[in-house]
């Protein structure tokens, strides 16, 4: 049995449940994109690196992986501006593109990124999110969602608090006193 970190309130999504769901999501993507030349998978750093690695290893359709890094200062403003820290290696015009995110909270990041990438004229643009918080996500439609979770601070499977806990194999709720002492 895994010994639980004392900073964690409870495990929300156990390791085996995540792995099974990621396989299911990949199977659905394999089916939905069976007839395209290749799928351009874009992982959003840092949080999506583990989900992206697991998801893409279950893909049987032709695909390439790429990454973007975005700043998050916009989250605390009403403007919702998100800055690109690291951009894609290739142009995506005419390509079938899938954005891969670990979490959608306010929805600001994904909404902004979707607009930026849409303006680059991909053949199609879809979104794949491991967890979505049950709150107002800005009315943005997601194509593939792994889990819906309560509106609490979660860590693990790529998700962090101050860059810690990312490599836990499960998703857990962080104790309130850890992030709000
Ligand atoms: C997280 C996550 C999303 C974003 C979602 O990134 O990876 O990109 O927040 O939040 P939103 O829906 O409120 O916009 P974060 O800024 O924590 O950076 P990180 O992935 O590098 O940890």
Q: Whose CA is nearest to atom 16 of ligand 1?
A: 72
Band the pLDDT of 139: cuts 50, 70, 90.
confident
pLDDT of residue 59: 98
What dotted CATH number matches 8-179? 3.40.50.2020
Q: What is the mean pLDDT of the chain?
A: 92
**148 SS3 class:** strand
Q: What lines the ligand 1 site, CB under 6 Å?
A: 44-47, 72, 75, 101-109, 160
Distance 109 CA to ligand 1 centre (A): 7
Domain ranges for the chain: 8-179
Residue 163 pLDDT more than 60? yes
Asked whether the whole model's pTM tops 0.75, one would answer: yes
Counting from 1 in the atom list of ligand 1, the atom nearest the Cα of 103 is 2
For 66-125, the pLDDT digits (tens) are: 999 998 664 555 556 788 999 999 999 999 999 999 999 999 899 999 999 999 999 999
What is the residue whose two structure tokens read 């900073």? 7
pLDDT over 90 for what percent of the chain?
A: 83
Q: What is the mean pLDDT of residues 144-157?
A: 96
């Amino acid at each position: 049995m895994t010994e639980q970190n004392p900073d964690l309130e409870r495990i929300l999504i156990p390791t085996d449940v995540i792995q099974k769901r990621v396989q299911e999501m990949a199977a659905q993507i394999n089916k939905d994109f069976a007839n395209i030349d290749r799928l351009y998978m874009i992982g959003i750093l840092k949080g999506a690196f583990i989900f992206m690695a697991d998801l893409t290893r279950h893909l049987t359709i032709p695909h390439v992986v790429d990454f973007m890094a975005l700043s998050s200062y916009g989250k605390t403003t009403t403007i919702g501006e998100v800055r690109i820290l690291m951009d894609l290696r290739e142009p995506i015009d005419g390509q079938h593109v899938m954005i891969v995110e670990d979490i959608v909270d306010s929805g600001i990041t994904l909404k902004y990124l979707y607009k930026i990438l849409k303006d680059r004229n991909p053949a199609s643009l879809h979104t794949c999110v491991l967890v979505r918080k049950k709150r107002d996500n800005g009315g943005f439609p997601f194509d593939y969602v792994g889990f819906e979770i309560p509106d609490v601070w979660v860590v693990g499977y790529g998700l962090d608090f101050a860059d810690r806990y990312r490599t836990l194999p499960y998703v857990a709720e962080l104790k309130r006193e850890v992030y709000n002492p």
